[in-house]
Amino acid sequence: MEKLIKNELLGEEYYEIDHASGLKIFVMEKPDYSGTFAMFGTKYGSVDTCFRIKGEESYTSVPEGIAHFLEHKLFESEELDAFERFAKTGASANAFTSFDRTCYLFQCADNWQENLEILLDFVKAPYFTEETVLKEQGIIGQEIRMYQDDPDWQVLFNLLRGLYHNNPVRIDIAGTVESIAEINAELLYSCYRTFYNNSNMALAVAGNVKKDEVIAIADKVLKKEEPVYYEQIIPEESDSAVTDYTEEDMGVDMPKFAIGYKCIPVEKDTVRDNLITNLALDVLLSKVSPLYCRLLDEGLINGSFGKEYFNGRGFSCLLISGESNNPEKVRNEIAAEIKRLQSEGISDEDFEISLKRMYGRDVFLFNDTDSLANNLVDSYFNGFGLFDTLDLYKSVAKAEVEAVIREKFNEKGCCLSVIK
Q: List the CATH number of the domain containing 54.
A: 3.30.830.10
Q: Does 134 map to a domain?
A: yes
Asked whether residue 220 falls in the same domain as residue 290, the answer is no
Domain boundary at 205, 232, 259, which?
A: 232
Asked whether residue 318 falls in the same domain as residue 408, the answer is yes
In sequence order, the β-bridge partners of residue 104 are 40, 95
* pLDDT at res. 313: 84
* pLDDT at res. 178: 96
Q: Does 237 map to a domain?
A: no
Asked whether residue 61 falls in the same domain as residue 148, the answer is yes
Contact 214, 27 (CB under 8 A): yes
- Give the dihedral sign, CA 386/390/395/263: positive
* pLDDT at res. 251: 86
Of residues 105, 82, 1, 100, the one with CA closest to residue 42:
100
Asked whether residue 116 falls in the same domain as residue 200, the answer is yes
Q: Does 198 map to a domain?
A: yes
Asked whether residue 250 falls in the same domain as residue 170, the answer is no
Q: Residue 271: which domain range?
A: 245-419
What length is written for the chain? 420
Q: Does 150 map to a domain?
A: yes
Question: Is 71 among the residues known to form the active site?
Answer: yes
* pLDDT at res. 27: 98
- Count of CB atoms within 10 A of residue 288's CB? 11
Q: Does 239 map to a domain?
A: no
Domain boundary at 232, 265, 280, which?
A: 232
Q: Does 240 map to a domain?
A: no
Q: Cβ contacts of residue 198 below 8 Å, gap of 6+?
A: 19, 21, 22, 23, 222, 225, 227
Asked whether residue 189 falls in the same domain as residue 326, the answer is no
Domain boundary at 232, 253, 268, which?
A: 232
- Please pick, among 8, 12, 29, 71, the residue that the annotation labels catalytic: 71
* pLDDT at res. 267: 79
Asked whether residue 225 falls in the same domain as residue 251, the answer is no
Q: Does 56 map to a domain?
A: yes
The CA distance from 207 to 369, in Å, is 6
Q: Cβ contacts of residue 189 below 8 Å, gap of 6+?
A: 126, 128
- Give me the number of domains the chain comprises: 2
Asked whether residue 48 falls in the same domain as residue 126, the answer is yes
Q: Does 121 map to a domain?
A: yes
Asked whether residue 295 falls in the same domain as residue 368, the answer is yes
* pLDDT at res. 355: 96
Asked whether residue 8 falls in the same domain as residue 69, the answer is yes
- Give the dihedral sign, CA 17/18/19/24: positive
Asked whether residue 287 falls in the same domain as residue 158, the answer is no
Residues of the chain with pLDDT under 70: none
Asked whether residue 208 falls in the same domain as residue 270, the answer is no
* pLDDT at res. 106: 97
* pLDDT at res. 102: 98
Q: What pTM does this model have?
A: 0.94
Over the chain, what HEC string results?
A: CEEEEEECCCCEEEEEEECCCCCEEEEEECCCCCCEEEEEEECCCCCCCEEEECCCCCCEECCCCHHHHHHHHHCCCCCCCHHHHHHHHCCEEEEEECCCCEEEEEEECCCHHHHHHHHHHHHCCCCCCHHHHHHHHHHHHHHHHHHHCCHHHHHHHHHHHHHCCCCHHHCCCCCCHHHHCCCCHHHHHHHHHHHCCHHHEEEEEEECCCHHHHHHHHHHHCCCCCCCCEEECCCCCCCCCCCCEEEECCCCCCCEEEEEEECCCCCCCHHHHHHHHHHHHHHHHCCCCHHHHHHHHCCCCCCCCEEEEEEECCEEEEEEEEECCCHHHHHHHHHHHHHHHHHHCCCHHHHHHHHHHHHHHHHHHHHCHHHHHHHHHHHHHCCCCCCHHHHHHHHCCHHHHHHHHHHCCCHHHEEEEEEC
